[in-house]
Amino acid sequence: MINILTSGLLALIGLALGAGGVWLILLDGSWYYAFAGLAFLIAAALSFAKRPVVLPFYALFMIASLGWAVWEVGFDWWQLGPRGGLIVLIGLWLAMPAYRKTLLVGQPVPEVKPTRSFVLEGSLVLAIVVAVYSMMNNPHAIEGQLNDSPVVSNPDLGGDVPAGDWHQYGRTPFGQRYSPLDQINTDNVATLEQAWVFQTGDVRRSEDVPETTYQVTPLKINDTLYLCTPHSWAMAIDAKTGQEKWRFDPEVPDNTDRQHQTCRGVTFYQDTAMSADASCAARVYLPTSDARLIALDANNGEICADFGDQGTVHLEEGMPYNPAGYYYSTSPPVVADGKIIIGGAVNDNYSTKSQSGVIRAYDVNSGELVWNWDSGNPEQTEPIPEGQTYTANSPNSWSVSSADEELGMIYVPLGNKVPDQLGMGRSEEVETYSSSIVALSLETGQVQWVRQTVHHDLWDMDVPAQPALFILHLI
């Protein structure tokens, strides 16, 4: 039975390779696959006839195939694997005692000589050596060194941020995540010493969801660090001493329906029209894991009651279903053009009745809704009327956006429609905006352009990173 199954498999592979190989020859392609198909058919016939010569024959075929593959693509594992993987696997099977014994059945005198067996085993060892070498080899590596000298003496880093400060998640509205400081460099970095340690006190609890993570990027404004913790606590810390200045606990209730329990950062805003020492002239906006956006006085952590509903914007408004645990913002919103613009995270693969991935812009001072862009209903950007809801299951933005006030645009990284692996029932709008970067007008929320990274995404390949903006100087 083993012999018959093996011979049949060899024959099927030979027929498939042979037919495809002839077609490839007619298309002026490689002749190898036609010859490989013939070799498999010969091996199938020898195996069926229980001729032990099948072992050295297959060994020679395997060596010839290995030589052809290396000649064609070199020692590139990712190209060698598809060319030789199946051939080597079948060679391993032919070398197994269970198969070799079938070649002796009915033979008056064993024909299998030790040297013939060694030929097959030797060819397998050679193939494994080539495979291991190829895995350790990178034929596409290009040795080089990046230019470490400034190309532009005074580059536009996107925002009036002092060199020693970090005002937004990506430092500036451009999201470049670049610091111009040069006091620490490759010569002295090894001699750095720890100045202070600060413990937030926020620890994972037994009732927390598995994805309870600390992912915050602190902001530094003047001599203060502003940050948030997984349970949405906001804190201000003295940047020089590590001493706590204030903390605010929004008292987010536990909810095991959440997929994530994290806070990637807060948003800072300075109202230049107000006196610098006035109450809430400088603000910290805190997104919470129960779908709130809270405005806090940056100086003392007290709620700014003139924002939204007594200091809070409720992000569940306009949602088609009860969002508790299934919708919240894990990333800091963007302040630009007098607006604070925020998206939200929607739990992956939990339901076909999930919340909308709407992007909303609120007046940064009052918290009044200015515009809303719903990728499931992209043309209606004026605030939806009372009683209307946003589109369920539309692609959402759980990451961080970038902005260019001079161009008047915000750049939003979008995820996929949930359930992520379910492809049916997707509208034309979903197919356009899912897993893409969308540029929206800061003034109206209307789409300016869209660049999709994965078409008809079934793999949850969200755009996960804040887009980085830069001005390219051609020299």
pLDDT tens, position by position, 341-352: 999 998 887 777
Q: Report whether pLDDT(475) > 80.
A: no
Q: Which residues pair with 219 in a beta bridge?
A: 226
Q: Report whether pLDDT(473) > 80.
A: no
Distance CA 310, CA 97 (A): 80
pLDDT-based confidence at residue 115 (cuts at 50, 70, 90): very low
Predicted local distance difference test score (pLDDT) of residue 349 = 78
Mean pLDDT throughout 241-259? 94
Predicted local distance difference test score (pLDDT) of residue 112 = 46
Query: Residue 115 class from Cβ within 10 Å (0-12 exposed, 13-18 middle, 19+ buried)?
Result: exposed
Q: Report whether pLDDT(114) > 70.
A: no
pTM above 0.85, yes or no: no
SS3 137: coil
Q: Report which of 361, 306, 370 is spatially closest to residue 336, judged by C-alpha positions.
A: 361
Distance CA 252, CA 423 (A): 35
Q: What separation in angstroms does the CA of 262 have from each of 84, 413, 440?
A: 46, 19, 27
Render pLDDT for 163-174 as a digit per residue (tens, 0 to 9): 999 999 999 999
Query: End-to-end distance of the chain based on CA atoms, in angstroms?
Result: 72
Distance CA 126, CA 154 (A): 58
Residue 293 near residue 316 (C-beta atoms within 8 A): no
Query: Who contacts 264 (Cβ-Cβ below 8 Å, separation ≥6)?
Result: 169, 215, 216, 217, 330, 331, 332, 400
pLDDT-based confidence at residue 383 (cuts at 50, 70, 90): very high
Distance CA 398, CA 354 (A): 14
436-441 and 447-452 beta bridge pairing: antiparallel
Mean pLDDT throughout 408-436? 90
- The tally of CA atoms less than 13 A away on the side-chain side of residue 464 is 2
Mean pLDDT throughout 438-443? 98
CB atoms within 10 A of CB 272: 7
Place of tokens 């404004």: 221
Cis status of the peptide bond prior to 56, with omega within 30 of 0: no
Distance CA 283, CA 298 (A): 5
Render pLDDT for 362-376 as a digit per residue (tens, 0 to 9): 999 999 999 999 999
pLDDT-based confidence at residue 106 (cuts at 50, 70, 90): low
SS3 134: helix
Return the H-helix or E-strand segment holding 436.
strand 436-441
Residue 258 near residue 325 (C-beta atoms within 8 A): yes
- The tally of CA atoms less than 13 A away on the side-chain side of residue 468 is 8
Q: For this structure, is 460 an active site residue? A: yes
Q: Report which of 114, 125, 119 is spatially closest to residue 88, judged by C-alpha positions.
A: 125
SS3 46: helix
Predicted local distance difference test score (pLDDT) of residue 279 = 95
- Tell me the H-state helices in 108-220: 114-136
Render pLDDT for 306-333 as a digit per residue (tens, 0 to 9): 999 999 999 999 999 877 888 999 999 9
Q: What is the mean pLDDT of the chain?
A: 91
Place of tokens 């049916």: 424
- The tally of CA atoms less than 13 A away on the side-chain side of residue 316 is 12
pLDDT-based confidence at residue 147 (cuts at 50, 70, 90): confident
Query: Residue 144 class from Cβ within 10 Å (0-12 exposed, 13-18 middle, 19+ buried)?
Result: exposed
Residue 253 near residue 290 (C-beta atoms within 8 A): yes
> Sign of the CA dihedral 304, 307, 310, 314?
negative
How big, in percent rounded to 5, are the helix, strand and coil portions of the chain?
25, 20, 55
What φ, ψ does residue 73 adopt, rounded to 5°? -125, 0
Query: Who contacts 25 (Cβ-Cβ below 8 Å, separation ≥6)?
Result: 31, 34
Query: One of 76, 208, 363, 460 is an active-site residue; which one?
Result: 460
